[in-house]
Chains A and B, each alone.
Chain A
Amino acid sequence: MNLTEVPSGRKARIESILDPVTRDYLLRLGIVEGSTVECVQRMARGPVVVRKSSLELSLGRRVAERILVSSVGDDP
């Protein structure tokens, strides 16, 4: 599952960040493989907005598609 498939309001665990540039950027913001982020908003064919503690970040569609995640928490 990639980040664009996480419903708004749900949390997800980052499993793998495929693009090295994205990886480098997110690493310095404190988002790495194993981090949990909340998906605040995903737009149809548009960006995904994620939140981790007080950081809010907008990630374009093509960026989010290359971030693999697993679901966390509320799932049965």
Chain B
Amino acid sequence: MRDNPHGLEEIKSIVLVGNPNTGKSVLFGELTRQFAEVSNYPGTTLLLSEGWMADFVVIDTPGVYGLYSSKEEEVVRQAVEASGIVINVMDATNLERGLWLALELLETGKTVFNVLNMWDEVETTGLVIDVERLGSLLGTPVFTTVAVKGVGIKELVGAITSHMEAPAERSLSQTADFSLDDALGTSELSSSGTAEATLSRRQRIEDILEGVLVRVPERRGLADVLSEIMIRPLTGVPLALAILGGVFYLIGAFVAQDLVAFTEGVIFQQIYEPAVRLIVGSVLSGPLYEIIAGEFGVLTMTVTYVLGLLLPLVFAFYVLMALLEDTGYLPRLATLADRTFTAMGMNGKAVIPIVLGFGCVTMATITTRMLDKRRERTIAIALLALAVPCSAQMAVILVLLAGLGFIYWALYGGILLGVFLLIGGVLSRIIPGERSAFMYELPKLRLPQWRNVLRKARFRTRIFITNVFPLFFLGALFISVLLVTGALGAAQQALHPLVTGWLGLPPEGATALIMGFVRRDFGAAGFFHMALTPIQAVVGMIVITLFIPCIASVMVIHKEMGLKGVLGILGFTLGTAFLTGGIIYRVLTFFLGG
């Protein structure tokens, strides 16, 4: 690429770089019209992603504070080197933080377009910034944008396009008011380097700020008060519980009962399934009919579960999750929970992947990349695989436990939390490795952006449905085949000591466990039409929750931890599931009576 005389390849790619949570991914979406995850916490984007704007490649990168301090920053630096144009996205309300990276980017000699994003917040807070002076001090153009409203994007794109058309006309980084070599006191540009270089860069930032910050308001708004309520334990803990309760109340009481009663009960079971049976029954009979339209039929059960039951519940979960992600609450929850998570060998940051796991465990497993140390990631991945039910699973479980009353919900939740904390504590003792320091920026509290919330929930739901449909389909086919060949009966016989003797479940429980190998929520669904005592229901739900993670998760775990990691996780989750189930069965029977 370097040797290309016209620098064509290089020129054609544009990389978005900036501190965490400055709006790079929103901007990426605006430029490329392509979906990118956007959330109000630092560390949303963890991998490079590419999109197209006309015939330019646009690259979105994970947020960084500089280019030379870590492996993650190295990845971003390489993306910068491979690109012709850099868009440096800064949070205009936090210029001081953005300038360090801005100076490092200018020192690379690349063409840099600086963007002061979040300009709406500058205006509402009464901050005054001399943008023109900033441009002349940096020697590169500075644009102001409100990425979430699409404001200022046209100007930015216009400037980039006209630069592309005539790149030689202006060499942007040569017109600075100061020489960067002077600023550094050295021409060694490839690292943040010596103490003097560091100090003089810091001094340069102070000078720039002095020149451009015309008025800095004293801020003590409602958001600050709210933020303090969230992080003070006395108020923060009840608030966290209230949010949790609210989410489960909304989903459990409203969506799982009223809405699903309509979508599953009416649309699918009363209208769709009888119609399918009628049509299939008129052409097929015997085992083939059973496989297609019987109890586990691929056209009956699969479609009803996925579209009638899971779709509304999973979508509702994703909407609430996206709302939570947009407010900026999660990093505050991380602060509040840091102590507890430290006892489990992680730090507060791990709250974020764990909470996201309640949406989708697979996605959350990827998010563990935001944790700094290998050990923390291992523990977080193991706990996600074991004790965090994803939205699909919660959906089925909420419906199943719905009839049993509050005490059994509380029991289920309490047992799961207990397992989570206990296993976390054990893992932190047996897994060797370093602890990492907890340093996490708290983003501004913001009102959720409806557009973003809905778009994200839709996107994630679509991925979920396309992943789950084929699996449920094959799973149902598999179970039906076992059923009609009599293999299911044999398996129930073989598993009898474990299922009935150890776990106290009815013998058909074996079917649900076999279905659990396809997906945990599929397994949970297997309990649906069994007559269970309340204790059996709780034991069954706990075992199936702790059961092996879904195939998509296993694939991600394989990528992150290798084959040994996968085998370890599978053995660990299965073992813990059965061990816990048996113990719970005995304890509950003892206290509540058989």
Task: Name A residues whose Cβ lies closer than 8 Å to a Cβ of B.
Answer: 19, 21-22, 24-25, 27-30, 32, 40-41, 43-47, 49, 53-63
Q: Is B347 an interface residue (CB 8 A)?
A: yes
Query: What 0/1 readout, one digit per residue, does chain B (319-342) give for beta carbons within 8 Å of chain A?
Result: 000000000000100111011001
- Name the contact of B97 in the complex, choosing from A32, A55, A61 (C-beta under 8 A): A55
- Name the contact of A63 in the complex, choosing from B65, B339, B437, B444 (C-beta under 8 A): B437
Q: Tell me the minimal C-beta distance from B222 to chain A in angstroms.
A: 15
- Name the contact of B348 in the complex, choosing from A19, A28, A41, A47 (C-beta under 8 A): A47
Contact residues of B: prevailing secondary structure: helix
With A58-B331, A58-B348 already in contact, the answer to whether A22 and B66 are too (CB < 8 A) is no
Q: Tell me the minimal C-beta distance from B344 to chain A in angstroms.
A: 14
Q: Which residue of A lies closest to B232 (CB)?
A: A41
Contact residues of A: prevailing secondary structure: mixed
- Name the contact of B335 in the complex, choosing from A19, A58, A62 (C-beta under 8 A): A58
Give the CA-CA distance A53 to B95 in the complex, in Å.
Answer: 10
Most buried by B among A32, A43, A45: A43
We find that the number of chain B residues with CB closer than 8 angstroms to chain A is: 37
Q: How many Cβ-Cβ contacts under 8 Å join chain A to chain B?
A: 101
Q: Tell me the minimal C-beta distance from A32 to chain B in angstroms.
A: 6
Query: What 0/1 readout, one digit per residue, does chain B (216-235) give for beta carbons within 8 Å of chain A?
Result: 10010000000110011100
A-chain residues with CB within 8 Å of residue B198 when the two chains form the complex: 27
- The reply to whether A59 and B438 form a contact with Cβ atoms under 8 Å apart is yes
- The reply to whether B441 and A56 form a contact with Cβ atoms under 8 Å apart is yes
A-chain residues with CB within 8 Å of residue B442 when the two chains form the complex: 49, 56-58
- The reply to whether A29 and B97 form a contact with Cβ atoms under 8 Å apart is yes
With A29-B65, A60-B338, A60-B342 already in contact, the answer to whether A41 and B439 are too (CB < 8 A) is no
Q: Is B113 an interface residue (CB 8 A)?
A: no
- The reply to whether A24 and B69 form a contact with Cβ atoms under 8 Å apart is yes
Give the CA-CA distance A53 to B32 in the complex, in Å.
Answer: 34
Give the CA-CA distance A56 to B96 in the complex, in Å.
Answer: 13
- Name the contact of B438 in the complex, choosing from A27, A40, A56, A58 (C-beta under 8 A): A58
Q: Is B440 an interface residue (CB 8 A)?
A: yes
- The reply to whether A60 and B438 form a contact with Cβ atoms under 8 Å apart is yes
Q: Is B100 an interface residue (CB 8 A)?
A: yes
Give the CA-CA distance A54 to B65 in the complex, in Å.
Answer: 16
- The reply to whether A60 and B437 form a contact with Cβ atoms under 8 Å apart is yes
Q: Tell me the minimal C-beta distance from A26 to chain B in angstroms.
A: 8
- The reply to whether B437 and A47 form a contact with Cβ atoms under 8 Å apart is no
A-chain residues with CB within 8 Å of residue B336 when the two chains form the complex: 43, 46
B-chain residues with CB within 8 Å of residue A45 when the two chains form the complex: 339
- Additional A-B contacts beyond A43-B233, A57-B440 (9; CB < 8 A): A19-B437, A43-B231, A46-B338, A54-B93, A55-B97, A58-B335, A58-B441, A61-B438, A62-B435
Give the CA-CA distance A74 to B94 in the complex, in Å.
Answer: 26
Q: Is B455 an interface residue (CB 8 A)?
A: no
- The reply to whether A27 and B335 form a contact with Cβ atoms under 8 Å apart is no
Q: Tell me the minimal C-beta distance from A51 to chain B in angstroms.
A: 9
Q: Tell me the minimal C-beta distance from A66 to chain B in angstroms.
A: 9
Q: Tell me the minimal C-beta distance from B201 to chain A in angstroms.
A: 9
Q: Is B205 an interface residue (CB 8 A)?
A: yes
Most buried by B among A22, A29, A30: A30
Interface positions, chain B 14-67, Cβ under 8 Å from A, are: 65-66
Give the CA-CA distance A47 to B228 in the complex, in Å.
Answer: 13
Q: Tell me the minimal C-beta distance from B287 to chain A in angstroms.
A: 61
Give the CA-CA distance A62 to B435 in the complex, in Å.
Answer: 10
B-chain residues with CB within 8 Å of residue A25 when the two chains form the complex: 65, 439
Q: Tell me the minimal C-beta distance from A31 to chain B in angstroms.
A: 9
